[in-house]
Amino acid sequence: MKWILSLLLILSMLPLQVQAQPINTGDPFIIINKANNKLAFIDDNAVQEILPVGTGKSQELTPEGLFTVKVKAVNPYYRKKNIPGGDPRNPLGSRWIGFDARNTDGRIYGIHGTNQPASVGKYISNGCVRMHKSDVERLYEKVPIGSKVLITISNEDFKTLAKKYGAIK
């Protein structure tokens, strides 16, 4: 009985955090920095673009961590208010790049367009990441399902962050 308790004590001291899978150098990778509301698209071992985004009204609304793109949609349907894709009232805009934040399936949290372009660059959403129409449409074409998305608050530049995660040598 003593050895079982000792084993349980030792196991309880081990870290429970699971290490994120590293990014393969050269693969498409998205970094969103909530400190400055910018998104960087990393591909072919370099920062390809840095674009403005809108994120959560409060820090906790847009989840932080390393996620995986699970769903992509053209003219996404807005389930919350039953608004079809392509409708000018649809707040999701013309593209949806959904990722698996907070154990979801890519249909709750995502990078998407907006019908309120003035909101891009602000802390304004309920958790998603808003982009200008032309930016999200261009990004959509470059990001395959399975790509990694890092959401963080950092003072480090995008190249440094990409190197830390293995996306750039």
List pLDDT tens digits, range 12-28.
444 333 344 568 899 99
Kindly provide the residue ranges of all beta strands, DSSP E only, lying in 5-144, ordered along the sequence.
Answer: 29-33, 38-43, 46-52, 55-56, 65-74, 95-99, 109-112, 123-125, 129-130
pTM above 0.75, yes or no: yes
Q: Which residues are catalytic?
A: 112, 128
Coil, strand or helix at 96: strand
Is residue 10 pLDDT above 50, yes or no?
no
Please report the pLDDT score of residue 11 as a whole number: 40
Q: What residue type is 27 in one-letter code?
A: D
Q: What residue type is 151 in one-letter code?
A: I
**Average pLDDT taken over every residue of the chain:** 90
